[in-house]
């Protein structure tokens, strides 16, 4: 199905989507209080959370932006722009994970769809 919104409207909507301080990140931030994790630390790989003492890095991946195996749907319009952009995100994720692992970090990836449903399971996994 083609996009039903005018190009300018769709562009404005997409431009307003945050890359930081998203609802899933904020929910996880609240749940991780007291566990020694920094939120959006300035470090290699740019994880969303990190505990440098325990060498744990956590990434919260959006289903669309990081091509979730369960929920990703390929864009119908402007494929010339979106497909390479999303593929670069996936490739960057792999590079960042590899780089962090080479520095001795345990890398945990969490999909946005898991946060509202499985917070207790996620926290147990991180512990």
> How many domains, the chain?
1
Whether 64 is covered by a domain: the verdict is yes
CATH of the domain at 87: 3.40.960.10
Q: What is the pLDDT of residue 88?
A: 96
Q: What is the pLDDT of residue 5?
A: 64
| SS3 category, 97 | helix
Whether 9 is covered by a domain: the verdict is no
Q: What is the pLDDT of residue 15?
A: 57
Q: Which of 40, 78, 36 is nearest to 59 (CA)?
A: 40
- Long-range Cβ contact pairs of 71-77 (< 8 A, separation 24 or more): 71/111, 71/113, 76/1, 76/2, 76/3, 77/2, 77/3, 77/10
Q: What is the pLDDT of residue 99?
A: 97
Whether 62 is covered by a domain: the verdict is yes
Whether 43 is covered by a domain: the verdict is yes
Token pair belonging to 31: 């749940």
Q: What is the pLDDT of residue 85?
A: 93
How far apart are alpha carbons 70 and 91 in whole angstroms?
18
Whether 108 is covered by a domain: the verdict is yes
Whether 13 is covered by a domain: the verdict is no
pTM, two decimal places: 0.83
How far apart are alpha carbons 55 and 101 in whole angstroms?
9
How large is the angle between the packed helices 119-126 and 23-31, nearest 10 degrees?
60
Mean pLDDT by 10 residues, the chain (127 residues): 65 61 90 94 95 97 93 88 94 97 98 93 92
Q: Domain of 79?
A: 18-126
Whether 96 is covered by a domain: the verdict is yes
């Amino acid at each position: 199905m083609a996009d039903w919104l005018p190009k300018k409207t769709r562009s404005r909507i997409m431009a307003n989507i945050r890359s930081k301080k998203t609802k899933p990140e904020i929910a996880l931030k609240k749940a991780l209080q007291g566990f020694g994790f920094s939120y959006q630390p300035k470090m290699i790989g740019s994880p969303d959370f990190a505990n440098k003492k325990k060498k744990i890095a956590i990434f919260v991946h959006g289903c669309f932006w990081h091509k979730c195996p369960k929920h990703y749907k390929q864009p119908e319009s402007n494929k010339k722009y979106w497909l390479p952009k999303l593929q670069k995100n996936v490739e960057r994720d792999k590079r960042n994970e590899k780089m962090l692992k080479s520095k001795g970090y345990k890398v945990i990836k969490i999909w946005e769809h898991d946060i509202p449903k499985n917070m207790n399971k996620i926290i147990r996994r991180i512990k």
